Chains A and B, each alone.
Chain A
Amino acid sequence: MTTTNSNRSLFVIQLAGANDPLNTVVPYNDGHYYDYRPNVGIPSDQVIPIDGRFGFNPNMAPMKALWDEGKVAIVNGIGYPNPNRSHFRSMDIWHTCEPEKIATEGWLGRVIRDLDPRGQNVITGVNFGRGLPRSMGAPGVPVASVGNLETYGLFPDVEEERIRGLCLDAFGKMYGGTIQDAVMDYLGQTGRDALKGADILRTAPENYSSTIEYADNPISQALKNAAQVMTADLGTRIYYTQHGSFDTHGDEVKVQGGLWNQVSGAVSDFMADLDEHGKSDDAVVLIWTEFGRRIRDNGSGTDHGSGGTAFIIGNQVNGGFYGEYPSLAERDQLDGDLHFNNDFRSTYSTIAERWLGLDPVSIVNGQFEQWDFIRN
């Protein structure tokens, strides 16, 4: 097993709603593509060519720049056997690595537990968003869910600073007293963890300065918050956020293009920000979505399909295409969808073992062939 560099971090971006792979990495020289996408296709003169066959969506210029630097790995045809076209079920499968049965433990929850088995750092995993993404949920694994780093923590709507301070002091005391009761003790420990996590995280924006000006949209703000935490050296290793909705049943060209404009810009700013702080060698970004979309458009959008695209981005990434780009020919389709040709757990396993130095088998529930997208 690779030796673990204890600063190596993973930034996971979930494209919620299911991103259309065909309009992301466009097969602009494939006649089938234009046959199936009379209304929701990207004209060949608009794509940003990668090679003679494929080009990026015109809104992905910043991503193309990272690609040209050799920092972007694209896994084509990613999926799992017997694809499920329900958003929720398919997300569950990606979150838990259990395609057959309904499971409750998330793969990143297991990653966090393996990185910090004794739970010494309450912010080993941080989600930028509300609630707990199922990927990060595992019994006994603390995860901070941060809506906005500047206002994160307890009592955010107490306007008067003095009163909020008194509330926080009192909370610390009330959750600190020992009470001879298992449930009360557990509540006390959890409350102290929450307070401690918030106290630590609050320091991040205070000590941060950067020349990068992130755009004013949710994914840019989430990645800015992530950069603030990363540069503060708080020991956080797993970062999570999501952006969307990519569920483009209608008006796809405009909606999906706008979203990719935001995501590409945010990732590019984020990488530049980490560069400026000397942190970019420690970061890998994974961008995933629960499934692809139908090959044939529905007039203004596309319906749920299978066979998606994942991105792995970073200085330590071997850029290039991984996995075969699925054929659009009718005989090769899966009920009108792109046929997946590699299991998402291969990508997860590669990240778990080659990037984070963990045993991937227990994390992804099995042994899967790995890719070479992480540099040795």
Chain B
Amino acid sequence: MSNADIALMAHLMRRAGFGASRDELEQRAARGYESVVEDLLIPGASNVMPDDLIRRFHVDMAEMRELNSAGAYWLYRMVTTDNPLEEKMALFWHSLFATGYSKLNQARSLMNQIDTFRRHSMGSFQTMLVELSRDPAMIIWLDNNDNHMGDINENYGRELLELFSMGIGNYTEDDVKECARAFTGWTLGNAEYMSTRASRDSIWPYSRIAWHFEYRDQDHDDGQKTFLGHTGNFNGEDIIDIIVQQDATARFVSTRLFQFFAADQVDSEGEAVIDEMVASYFASNYEIRSVLRTLFNSAYFKSEKARFARVKGPVELVVGAVRMAGTYQEPTFGADQLARYTMYMGQGIFQPPSVEGWHEGAEWIDSGALVERVNFVGKELGNPSNPGVKSLIDRMSASVEGPLSAEAQVDACADLLGPIELSDSTRQSLSEFAGEQGAADLRDGVRTEADDQRIANLLRLLTATREYQLA
């Protein structure tokens, strides 16, 4: 197995997952790149810790209506899953169909929404949009419970076209109105009772009862509508059927997937990949799995060009560091801190700043967020007693024949953390640090805790680099 194979597998796992240890990379690379892509696209049953165990042992996560408990629960799934692409895709849909706790006051309903995203994450985009339109959290978030026959509320109808499927410029204001009409009657079960509750129960205005979808035929405007040039007595499903046939929709979804998985910026070569993704979208009857397969197997995705071409989002960064450090594998108090940390870094789970989702790429970084990133990851990977760090140092130890030079320490750490490509000046600064803090000798019999601590110090500093901020 060549270093190039490992580097490519590391790239795939950073993007289609949350990074991987060297052991995992070697096992996966041995199966061959395209087989691994298929493993990721068609995962088996999820191995995550069952809900009842999480709730029994994680007292801090047990109140699933609470924001940080629910956020921690999802982060815990990301940290422990063997199907990382499934969780990565749920995160993608959460970023795209950004629904916020601020209006709902009910995290359980948001977790149910994420379950829906997970269930349909790589299936038909048409099914996904229908399920999204029936999702109770989305109905409240974008006011479709106020969208009535003869008295439309355009909010959901508009965002479905603008932010969730086609993008601005591909439809008219009349299309928005007709779309909203088609979704009249798509509301919540027991809406009147809930609104009475809401006025009396100020702690959980929408929550003490389970939400579910209800279609009310008597509140649905069944009249004739003209939408994107088609005319008929359309209901919501008919509208979605027309939406998914649009080239604009295929391009919109493909572009968002490209930016989430391949590169923050789309250049002309990227446009060519998106063209292929659009073709797969139509050839597969709108199947997201096929679109992703085309992307992951494209020459562009595998090329040097796509390497480190994205800024890691806070959730990716936190989950990646925790998985690499091997922490939070067993039930532990304080896991809800993970949810708080992603918020300190600017990506509170279930707290998108608006329905547009987070501004990604370089906009993840500001001085406060950078300090939080560096300090959090440094604490995880700078501690030699964390299991993942220990096994990483053990691995280095197994192959040494003498005291490691400063440069050799840097190269070995950068290799096992990624491999991460370092600029010459970064490598130089890290080597100076390694030289000044003192020699590390990892040979069996000579190796002491102090040697391990020095390597861990170097790992900490490596995760503080600019290079480490990129995926």
Residues of A within 8 A of B (CB): 85-89, 92, 102-104, 122, 127, 130-132, 139, 142-145, 153-158, 163, 166-167, 169-171, 173-175, 177, 179, 182-184, 186-188, 190-191, 193-194, 197-198, 249, 294, 303-305, 335
Q: B422 — nearest CB in chain A belongs to which residue?
A: A174
Which of B7-15, B248-256, B461-469 touches A?
B461-469
Pick the contact of A132 from B101, B340, B368, B426 — CB < 8 Å? Answer: B368
* Most A C-beta atoms less than 10 A away, residue of B311, B374, B464: B464
Residue B405 CB within 8 A of the other chain: no
Q: Is the CB of A193 within 8 A of B367?
A: yes
For residue B258, give the distance in angstroms from its CB to the closest CB of chain A. Answer: 17
B103 in the interface, Cβ–Cβ < 8 Å? yes
Min CB distance B366 to A, Å, is: 6
Chain A positions within 8 Å of B203 at CB level: 249, 303-304
Kindly list the 10 A-B residue pairs having the minimum CB-CB distance in the complex, ordered from nearest.
Answer: A88-B102, A304-B202, A177-B425, A303-B202, A194-B367, A131-B344, A173-B429, A170-B433, A187-B466, A145-B368
Given contacts A102-B355, A170-B430, A303-B203, contact A156 B375 (CB under 8 A): yes
With contacts A131-B343, A179-B423, A294-B202 taken as known, whether A167 is within 8 angstroms of B366 at the C-beta atoms is: no
B429 touches A154 (CB 8 A): no
User: Judging by beta carbons under 8 Å apart, are B429 and A174 in contact?
Assistant: yes
Nearest B residue (CB) for A143: B368
B:430-471 near A, CB below 8 Å: 430, 432-433, 436-437, 457, 460-461, 464-466, 469-470
A153 and chain B: residue at smallest CB distance: B371
A86 x B429 contact (CB < 8 A): no
How far apart are A342's CB and chain B's nearest CB, in angstroms?
23
A190 in contact with B311 (CB, 8 Å): no
Partner of A157, one of B205, B378, B461, B464: B378
Q: Is the CB of B464 within 8 A of A154?
A: yes
Q: Which of A130, A183, A186 has the most CB of B within 10 A?
A: A183
Say yes or no: A174-B425 contact (C-beta < 8 A), given A132-B346, A158-B382, A304-B202. yes
> With the chains together, A303 CA to B198 CA distance in Å?
12
Q: Let me know if B437 and A163 touch, CB within 8 A.
A: yes
Residues on A with beta carbons closer than 8 Å to the beta carbon of B469:
187
Is there a chain A Cβ closer than 8 Å to B331's Cβ?
A: no
The residue in A145, A155, A170 that gathers the most chain B C-beta atoms within 10 A of its C-beta is A170
Query: Are B368 and A131 neighbours in the complex by a CB distance under 8 Å?
Result: yes
List residues of chain B with CB within 8 A of the CB of A197.
Answer: 367
Q: Cβ of B105 and Cβ of A86 under 8 Å apart?
A: yes
Q: Residue B353 at the A interface, CB < 8 A?
A: yes
Q: Decide if B268 is an interface residue (CB 8 Å cutoff).
A: no
Q: How far is the CB of A190 from chain B (nearest CB, A)?
A: 5
Other-chain contact of A155, B101, B205, B378, B470 (Cβ < 8 Å): B378
A144 touches B367 (CB 8 A): yes
A190-B364 Cα distance, complex, nearest whole Å: 11
Q: How far is the CB of B155 from chain A (nearest CB, A)?
A: 10
Closest to B67 in A: A88
- Please indicate the chain B residues that have their CB under 8 angstroms from the CB of A87 in the complex: 105
Residues of B close to A88: CB separation below 8 A: 100-103, 105
Chain B 373-388, CB-CB to A under 8 Å as 1, else 0, gives: 0110011001000000
Q: Are B365 and A187 neighbours in the complex by a CB distance under 8 Å?
A: yes
Q: Are B466 and A132 in contact (CB-based, < 8 A)?
A: no
Question: In this complex, which of A127, A131, A139, A186 has the most chain B Cβ atoms within 10 angstroms of its Cβ?
Answer: A131
B194 at the interface (CB under 8 A from A): no
Known: A132-B366, A145-B371. 14 other contacts (CB 8 A): A88-B101, A104-B354, A130-B372, A131-B344, A131-B368, A132-B346, A143-B368, A155-B460, A166-B433, A167-B461, A173-B432, A174-B429, A177-B425, A249-B202
Q: Write out the residue numbers on chain B whose beta carbons fall within 8 Å of the beta carbon of A171.
A: 374, 461, 464
Let me know if A170 and B367 touch, CB within 8 A: no
Min Cβ gap B101→A in Å is: 6
* Shortest Cβ distance from A305 into B: residue: B202
Whether A103 lies near B354 (C-beta < 8 A) is yes
Q: 19 A-B residue contacts at CB 8 Å? A: A87-B105, A102-B355, A104-B354, A122-B367, A130-B344, A131-B368, A132-B366, A143-B367, A145-B371, A154-B375, A154-B464, A155-B378, A155-B464, A157-B378, A157-B382, A167-B433, A179-B466, A187-B370, A304-B202
Instruction: Decide if A167 touches B460 in the complex (CB within 8 Å).
Output: yes
Chain B 346-371, CB within 8 Å of chain A: the 1/0 string? 10000001110000011101111111
Shortest Cβ gap from B138 to chain A (Å):
15
B residues with a Cβ closer than 8 A to A are: 100-103, 105, 199, 201-203, 205, 264, 311, 340, 343-344, 346, 353-355, 361-363, 365-372, 374-375, 378-379, 382, 423, 425-426, 429-430, 432-433, 436-437, 457, 460-461, 464-466, 469-470
Contact yes or no, B429 A191, CB < 8 A: no
Asked if A155 contacts B370 (CB within 8 A), the reply is no
Residues of B within 8 A of A89 (CB): 102-103
Bound CA span A19–B343, Å? 24
Contact A191-B102, Cβ < 8 Å, known A85-B202, A104-B353, A130-B344: no
Nearest neighbor of A162 in chain B, beta-carbon distance: B437
The closest CB in chain B to the CB of A170 belongs to: B433
A86–B101 alpha-carbon span in the complex (Å): 10
Partner of B354, one of A102, A182, A191: A102
Q: How many angstroms between the C-alpha atoms of A103 and B102 in the bound complex?
A: 12
Known A104-B353, A130-B344: A166·B436 in contact at CB below 8 Å: yes
Say yes or no: B103 contacts A174, CB within 8 Å: no
How many angstroms between the C-alpha atoms of A175 and B361 in the bound complex? 18
| Alpha-carbon distance A132/B105, docked complex (angstroms) | 21
B464 to chain A: closest residue by CB: A171
A251 to B394, CA, bound (A): 54
B311, B370, B433: the one contacting A183 at CB < 8 Å is: B311
A85 touches B436 (CB 8 A): no
Q: In the complex the two chains form, what is the Cα distance from A92 to B103 in whole Å?
A: 10
In the assembled complex, the CB of B337 is this many whole angstroms from the nearest CB of chain A, namely: 11
Q: Determine the chain B residues whose CB is within 8 A of the CB of A167 once the complex forms.
A: 433, 457, 460-461, 464
A305 to B466 alpha-carbon distance, docked (Å): 47
Contacts of B425 in A (CB 8 A): 173-174, 177, 179
A144 to chain B: which residues have CB within 8 Å? 367-368
Of the candidates B365, B379, B426, which one forms a contact with A174 in the assembled complex, judged by CB atoms under 8 Å apart?
Answer: B426
Residues of B within 8 A of A145 (CB): 344, 368, 371-372
* Residue of A87, A145, A155, A303 ringed by the most chain B CB atoms within 10 A: A155
Residues of B within 8 A of A139 (CB): 363
Do B370 and A190 have beta carbons less than 8 Å apart? yes
What residues on A are CB-neighbors of B354 within 8 Å?
A: 102-104
How far is A230 from B425 in the complex, measured between Cα atoms in Å?
38
Q: A158-B460, A167-B464, A249-B203 are in contact. Are A174 and B368 (CB under 8 A)?
A: no
B366-A190 in contact (CB<8A) = yes
**Bound CA span A214–B45, Å:** 57
State how many angstroms separate the Cβ of A124 from the closest Cβ of chain B: 12
Chain A residue, CB-CB nearest to B343: A131
Residues of A within 8 A of B343 (CB): 131
Q: Which of B199, B371, B425, B436 has the most CB atoms of chain A within a 10 A radius of its CB?
A: B371
Q: Nearest-CB distance from B196 to chain A (Å)?
A: 12
A66 to chain B, nearest CB (A): 32
| B429 in contact with A157 (CB, 8 Å) | no
Q: Compute how far the CA of A175 lies from the CA of B429 in the bound complex, rounded to whole angstroms.
A: 10
Q: What chain A residues lie within 8 Å of B340 (beta carbons)?
A: 130-131
